[in-house]
Structure 1
Amino acid sequence: MQTTRAIGPFTVSAIGLGCMNLSHAYGVPPSPEQAERVLLAALDAGVTLFDTAALYGFGANEELVGRVLAPHRSRFTLASKGGLGGVRGEDGVLRRVIDGRPEALRQSCEDSLRRLKTDVIDLYYLHRWDKKVPIEDSVGAMADLVRQGKVRTLGLSEVSAATIRKAHAVHPITAVQTEYSLWTRNPEIAVLEACREIGASFVAFSPLARGFLTDTLHDVGALDAKDIRRPMPRFAPENYAANLKLLPAYKALATEVGCTPAQLALAWLLHKAPHIVPIPGTTQLDHLHEDIGAADVRLTPAQMAQLETLIGEHNVVGPRYAPQATGEVDTENFAPSAG
């Protein structure tokens, strides 16, 4: 299997790094020193795709990436996202706001460039489609950023095949980013094919099922109060207990293949299609090197089929998002199961 993959004009490592959890989302983030160690170790290990967003830590993640990686800017492809960020209310509290208006996207990009300490972002995504704004208007504003030399290529996140095609008619879409793993198969409905059709790469976030497929999360009751998994139905105690029953056979297959559970999950994605690039995130150096090692794992067609039988929409209990978050995305969904 190739150790690099194409995202538009860029050649990137087959496995990139999602930087979100160095600042955001899964409880207390690591110290700045530890976050710096992870970023530099990834770069030294050959990772050449780093993915951040204005939302992560309400700008703190971009500032971290800028501070640590700006001196090495020529060595990697930089991806960030706008259109979803924090707005401070009258009470002084920062709240997550989706805003796809052209003027908001222009300002978001300027702010990201400043935090990232760079003149240009290689791949700039619309983090969420603001359904109050036609996708053509948001992408039109982002196309202006390309023409101005502030952004090299454009991407979309958590959108449907129909939205991808509408956006692509305005300006070429280089990549689409959506959650994709053995336990979240929504992209298989239509988005993977739409990406293939228009020549876009598919960037898989949460490829390890937010920790489930690493076999390291056994007690969801121990999750930090601010961990974003707490309101997710699959991580509700009763549902998660049911989902844990899927792991023994999965771990047995990892042993048979000769890799760790995390590597098996990433290898499955790499074998699914050559236009898929997973971006696992981690705060630990050993997990970083483990993830990167998945590019060396080989799976047979029989093992691929077995994996898809072991874990999938047919037996995972609970939807991936709670109702509010479900309403914020535009991705196709499978019909609800009886589970």
Structure 2
Amino acid sequence: MKTTRMGPDGPEVSQFGIGAMSFAGIYGDATVEESHAVLDACRAAGAVHIDTSNVYGNGRSEEIIGAWFAKTPGARDEMHLATKAGITRGGERRFNNDPEYLEERLDGSLKRLGVECVDLFYIHRYDRTHTPEEVAGSLKRLIEKGKTRAVGFSEIAPSTLRRAFAECPIAAVQSEYSLSTRAPELGMVQACAELGTTLVAFSPVGRSLLTDAPFSYERGQSHAFLASNPRFMQPNYDANIAATDRFRALAAEMGEPAAALAIAWCIAKGSLPIPGTKNTAHLKELLRGAEIDLTPEDIARIEAVLPVGWAHGDRYNATQWEGPERYC
């Protein structure tokens, strides 16, 4: 398993992680047994990074991971555990980075996970009522209290990262990054490289579009997030399937699953992809991506069939864009 350093002075971790949102039934129900089988397979493959959040299933994802740690001796010591907070449920504020709120939510996560400390605690969404320096100061105090070993942000701008980093080392920034979402290349990739911050890439297979079995239009419409997501609405959906058919054909020509090729591309670009799945067969395809060493010629072929800007429709609709920082 390829490895990377988590943050400028952090530990070496696998350059592939499991995104645990799927455990909470976001794209269909996942049983505890299915989720635990995925975690078992990740551990066996040396994929040690687990990435979850307190809002995934209102804590269900964390509870499933905590139950797995409880029944799997030695697993907690081997795995690199990350969770997030900052998105509220109900009330007037959608996002809250108040120091007391973050610590309270982290305490809840620690209880559900059955641990005294996580390895990485992210701000899930930056709350602009605070400065980046103020939020980073709050995160630094959580490190000092021994509740997390390192801290990060999700969906922020490079300028926010630099300001926060000046107050406290930021180990990771989580951003959507894949062959279908290349915006991080316009500043975030560069800022992370400059600071030694790890770029954690969520949705690295484009919410199934970059796999051999993309969601059907009907299945997409059955999930609340995808039903109103521009890339999964007509006529964009049909156009995106036609565009990614070229990628699937290239993957077949190269003798690899499309999902594996998408993961390999993310790793070649220096990011740590965290795909989500509840299916061990699909996980095997994803893990294969961590074994592929793409040549410059391979990358050029991939980017020729899926050039920058190929996708039809924005990655988020207007409501989904509330919270993430746009920077270009």
What is the TM-score of this pair, normalised by structure 1? 0.91
Listed as ranges, the matches of 1:163-312 within 5 Å are 163-223=160-220, 225-273=222-270, 276-312=271-307
* Structure 1 equivalent of residue 37 of structure 2: 37
Listed as ranges, the matches of 1:1-339 within 5 Å are 3-8=2-7, 9-26=10-27, 28-70=28-70, 71=73, 72-87=75-90, 97-223=94-220, 225-273=222-270, 276-333=271-328
* Structure 2 equivalent of residue 337 of structure 1: none
Give, in angstroms, the shift of residue 301 of structure 1: 1.1
How many angstroms apart in 2 are the aligned matches of 1:318 and 1:48?
A: 34
Give, in angstroms, the shift of residue 309 of structure 1: 2.7
Q: Does the Cα contact within 8 Å between 2:157 and 2:325 map onto a contact in 1? A: yes
Greater Cα shift, 304-313 or 243-252: 304-313
How many angstroms apart in 2 are the aligned matches of 1:21 and 1:96?
A: 26
> What is the SS of the residue equivalent to 2:40?
helix
> What is the SS of the residue equivalent to 1:326?
coil
1:34 maps to a residue whose letter is E
Give, in angstroms, the shift of residue 96 of structure 1: 9.1
> What is the SS of the residue equivalent to 1:316?
coil
> Any idea what the Cα deviations from partners look like across 1:209-251, whole Å, max 9, x if unmatched?
0111013125212336344211110110210101111123212
Query: 1:218 and 1:287, CA in 2 relative to 1: closer, same or farther beyond 3 A?
Result: closer
Q: Does the Cα contact within 8 Å between 1:204 and 1:278 map onto a contact in 2? A: yes
> What is the SS of the residue equivalent to 1:20?
helix
Q: Does the Cα contact within 8 Å between 1:181 and 1:209 map onto a contact in 2? A: yes
How many angstroms apart in 2 are the aligned matches of 1:102 and 1:64?
A: 27
> Any idea what the Cα deviations from partners look like across 1:77-133, whole Å, max 9, x if unmatched?
00111111434x6xxxxx993111111111111111111110111011001101222
Q: Does the Cα contact within 8 Å between 1:54 and 1:85 map onto a contact in 2? A: no
Q: Does the Cα contact within 8 Å between 2:208 and 2:215 map onto a contact in 1? A: no
Q: Does the Cα contact within 8 Å between 1:39 and 1:69 map onto a contact in 2? A: no
How many angstroms apart in 1 are the aligned matches of 2:279 and 2:176?
A: 21
How many angstroms apart in 2 are the aligned matches of 1:226 and 1:256?
A: 32
Q: Aligned pairs, how many?
A: 323
2:105 maps to a residue whose letter is S
> What is the SS of the residue equivalent to 1:58?
coil
What is the TM-score of this pair, normalised by structure 2? 0.94
Higher strand share: 1
* C-alpha RMSD over aligned residues: 1.7
Residue identity over aligned pairs, in percent, reads: 37
